[in-house]
Amino acid sequence: MDLFFLFSVLITLAAITSYINFRIFKMSPGIILMLTGTLIALVLVIAGHFSSALTETIKQSLALLNFSDFLLGMLLSFLLFAGSLHINYKAMRYYGKIIFTFATIGTILSTFFIGSAVYFLFRLFHIDAGYISCLLFGALISPTDPIAVLNIMRKANLPQPIEIKITAESLFNDGVGVVLFATLLEISTRGGTNFEPSSAIILFLQQAGGGVIVGLLIGYIGYKTMKSIDHFQTAILISLAMVMGGYSLCHYLHVSGPLAMVIAGIFTGNKGKTEAMSYVTRDYIEKFWEVTDDVLNAVLFMLIGLQLVVIHFSFSALLLGILSALLLVAARYLSLWLPSRIFGFQNKMENKTLEIMTWGGLRGGLSIAMALLLPNDAYKNMFIGITFTIVLFSILVQGFTIERFIKFVARKR
């Protein structure tokens, strides 16, 4: 009943905020929901200085829902599948090499760029965090969060070629980032001494490759079953089974669930919609997952803001977070620019694409969820505080200004 009450409060706050936003502010839903959650959290933190019992009650309520388990173990599967349904496979295939390179090599480069930069930044502040810990931070903060990106990019009126690069790359680098984080976490857990580089590569390929294979299998089974019927209620149940059953299967097989959901979603959104569904079924499937996506996004963005109540903040974490956010923008651009120069992608890249992909590469709840899974050491709370600061900067600053940024760089073409 307590968990039901927590969700009741979240949904009610999200509904009120969305209504006011639609009537008055007309801002991106993701931005306004997270901003509202953050403001509520700030009020609660201030009130907690006058009543410690209030703060403790709020913390106990939020503790009913383990944020990392909730996002990584359940919510992510629904949101990735729902987002992938809208990806145009033909357009994605045309830019396939670019998307694949940015999502894999780009994410790995960014992990080492930002991890190394933060390592030296910490040294300037006399913080003795290990290099592997900084690389773990680089892995959790490098992938652009598809949940935040898709939610905000829909309102940005991007040219279609640039939009497909940003959205598809964010979906895939999310899966790659989770696998990379899991690999580095395994190395960190073993102390780095009993872990061979070859073992790390094998673990990475096993999780990533296994996720792609399982995703194709899930998509194909869903396609064949939907094609054999014409009943939209059953088709919706099948799509739910693909997400929930498929994600659970990935967990059991120790392969990447996020990548599997992206592949299954793209398969269903293209081949499934065109060949396995009638017009009526397709219409219901699209509306069901659009509503599901909106409701879960509302809960997630509200939860991100409210995490401020339970996260241990300090002035140094705030300062380091702002500096790291600026370093992350530079690392993001460099990790895109370098592969594009090496592999000669200029001919397929519209002018200012890298700049838009850099500023439009938002971070969200996924980074916070992974930060909460960091090993318990003296610097865990510091990394969590920095991550939360970067997420706030990403969504409230980059997300709020992305439309103006696009218009600005368009005038420079």
CATH 1.20.1530.20 assigned to 67-411: yes
- Give me the pLDDT at residue 117, please: 97
Given this model, what pLDDT does residue 155 score?
66
Q: How far is CA 104 from the centre of its chain?
A: 15
- The per-residue pLDDT for 156 is 67
Mean per-residue pLDDT for 3-23?
A: 91
Give domain limits for the chain: 67-411
Torsion angle defined by CA atoms of residues 86, 89, 95 and 96, in that order, rounded to the nearest 10 degrees: 110
Residue 198's Cβ-count burial label (10 Å; 0-12, 13-18, 19+) is exposed
Residues 245-256, mean pLDDT to the nearest whole number: 95
**53: Cβ–Cβ under 8 A, 6 or more apart, which residues?**
none
The mean pLDDT of 89-96, rounded to a whole number, is 90
If we measure between CA atoms, which residue out of 12, 55, 29 comes closest to residue 311?
Answer: 55
Separation CA 309–CA 52 (nearest Å): 12
Report residue 307 as tokens.
């995490």
Across the chain, which distance is largest between two alpha carbons, in Å?
65
pLDDT of 192 above 60: no
User: Using CA atoms, how far apart are residues 372 and 250, in angstroms rounded to an integer?
Assistant: 22
Dump pLDDT digits (tens) for 121-175: 999 999 999 999 999 999 999 999 777 776 666 666 677 788 888 889 988 998 8
Name which of 105-109, 155-159, 227-231 the model is least confident about: 155-159
| Mean pLDDT across 86-104 | 92
> Whole-angstrom Cα distance, residue 70 to residue 304?
12
Please give the average per-residue pLDDT across 347-367, as a whole number. Answer: 87
Q: Which string of DSSP letters, residue by residue, matches 371-409?
A: HTTS--STTHHHHHHHHHHHHHIIIIIIHHHHHHHHHHH
Q: How far apart are CA 171 and CA 212, in angstroms?
A: 13
Most confident of 20-34, 135-149, 213-227: 213-227
Please give the residue that has the higher pLDDT: either 333 or 409: 333
Give pLDDT, residue 167: 86
